[in-house]
Amino acid sequence: MSEKQKKRSEIEDKYKWRLEDIYASDDLWEKDFSELKSKTEVMKDFKGKLTTDATNLQKGLELYFDIYRLLDKARNYACRKKDEDLNVAKYQEMVDRFNSLESNISAELVFVRTELTKMSGSEFENFVKENNNLVLYRFYMDEILRLKSYRLSDEEEKILAHATEIMGAPENIYSMLNDADIKFPIFKNDLGNEIELTQGNYIKNVQSGDRNVRRDVFEKFYETYLAYKNTFASMLNSDIKAHIFSAKTRKYKSTLVQSLYQDNIEESLYQNLINTIHNNFDKFHKYYKVRKEYMKLDEQHMYDIYVPMLKDIDKEISYDEAVIIIKEALKILGEDYNENMNKGFNDGWIDIYENEGKRSGAYSSGSYESKPYILLNHENNLNSLFTIAHEMGHSMHSYYSNKNQPYIYADYTMFVAEVASTVNEILVIKHLLKNTKTKEEKMYLLNHFMDQFKGTVFRQVQFAEFEKMLHEKTESGEAISADKLCELYHDLNKLYYGENVISDDLIKVEWARIPHFYYDFYVYKYATGFSAAVAIAEKISSGDKEALDNYLLFLKSGGSDYPIELLKKAGVDMSTPEPVQAALNVFGKLVDEFEKLANEK
């Protein structure tokens, strides 16, 4: 592509998504915008009457979910149009108007959840006997009633709702300091130019081929955090105490139990994940031993671990060539999957190339009634090929869910959201490894795969263990100072990276730059999702027909059950350590294979 970005009008239509399949015109969107207001007014008439009889309950729930289905459709169109060109004021305003409408509707309809919560399971089942149409809502009601025991009185719920903004203050303050106010020193880059260090350019420069540059960048970056350690410690402690306040108020056993309960997950899963990683440290430590030897480092420091072992393969792969490779790699997923995936490539799902004002990055997003649209900013390289495969995995998961589930159960939780995308990536990597022509390309692919494990499994579990440790210590009444945070993190870092990496003193303050510690036990989901995907991809690639059938059933299941049960349909029981162990065995084989190739003359 030329250095000057093209205007959107200069991109051929065949390379753009077709949003007119959602609404043929903006006027039709406006019509639904008005319709949403009207439907909400009708829904308000059910207030105080929703659970008086079976007919009211059926009609009320039908209208309630119809409103949210229409909201999703309207949001999808507005947001996708805005992302085409962020400079178009009309669609910025459309999104702002939609956000205000959605907020108002949510406030007006909050009574629905409140009234449903006041029902008992037996009352609901009696209504089902009177009106069989209510069977559809049984799992939805089971979930509401499961959470009921931790729901407070209406007045107490109001107090907690009012406290939400205050409880979110530590994360907001952290974001302002970390993303806006904190300033880093000047450094000299590879070319000897003086540049201000920023959050945005840190990773790029700590990957520099010049060791002096990456050491300088590392030291200046973390010395800055060290200067603010007490402020960051105060914010993190306040956030943890907010989690504890919420858990104690609702009478959960602990903050971890409260967080896991939302997905109906046992505490043992979290601990099993940590234990399994500990039991496989030898594989992670060997990876760093092989890396140290391959890069011919006398000592391997924390500022050495992000520099690529192999430079990007200078291999141009056009979008059309990438699609051919992906189709070939995913043939193993069967005729039905491939026929439907071809619709995605040929039927206006994908917005492929960068244009002036277009949102950066890549994503898959749609609504129940629309295509699962994919935004790309494609470049003709291997990373972009993996991005297509990844986002198509998300879209196919949504496609199958929407086709096979009613609206109420079509959406799926974050616990399973990365499984389908990662399965696709792994199958593509396996295909490329099988068909690669050169040793260099094979080593590059192995390194890419190993780095996925490193970043998505080992590193995220390190964070998850640190987060658990901090909450438990605070819950037991222990005060956690900035120095104590640094000590705990440094010790954990040494444990995870082993003797082949020097855990430099400054890495002790890395905790201060990780925003995920404010997300309330979120990071473990990266590791479980990736591990589940590896286990599934391994079975499918071995030719296991039952594994493929189970996986397709999982894709079709949406959010019709709890995440652990959904993954069991895919043949993976995440309540046991087995899938994580199986994934780590794959990692160990990758390390061994890379080492073998590296030692070949």
Catalytic residues: 391
CB 328, CB 341: distance < 8 Å:
no
Q: Give the Cβ contact number of residue 103 at 10 Å.
A: 10
Alpha-carbon distances of 549 from 71, 366, 398, 544, rounded to whole Å: 33, 25, 17, 9
d(CA 130, CA 412): 30
DSSP element (H, E) containing 364:
strand 363-365
d(CA 453, CA 338): 27
d(CA 327, CA 340): 11
SS3 letters for 142-206? Answer: HHHHHHHCCCCCHHHHHHHHHHHHHHCHHHHHHHHHHHHHCCCCEEECCCCCEEECCHHHHHHHH
CB 148, CB 250: distance < 8 Å:
no
DSSP element (H, E) containing 430:
helix 419-435
Largest Cα–Cα distance of the chain, in whole Å?
A: 80
CB 33, CB 98: distance < 8 Å:
yes
d(CA 20, CA 146): 41
CB 396, CB 423: distance < 8 Å:
no
Six-digit token string for 272: 């099993």
List the beta bridge partners of residue 301. 502
d(CA 518, CA 467): 9
- Laid out side by side, the sheet with 363-365 consists of 350-351, 373-375, 363-365
Closest CA to 408 of 15, 61, 162, 33: 61
SS3 letters for 251-268? Answer: CCCCHHHHHHHCCCCCHH
Contacts of 418 (CB under 8 A, 6+ apart): 525, 526, 529, 530, 533
Which residues in 180-219 are b (16+ Cβ under 10 Å) and which e? eebebeebebeeeeeeebeeeebeebbebebeebbbbbbe
139-145: long-range contacts, CB 8 A cutoff, minimum separation 24:
139/409, 139/560, 139/561, 140/408, 140/409, 141/116, 144/113, 144/116, 144/117, 145/117, 145/119, 145/120, 145/121
Amino acid (1-letter code) at residue 403: K
Closest CA to 368 of 570, 77, 566, 562: 77
Alpha-carbon distances of 418 from 332, 413, 533, rounded to whole Å: 20, 10, 8
**DSSP code per residue over 199-232:** HHHHHHHHT-S-HHHHHHHHHHHHHHHHHTHHHH
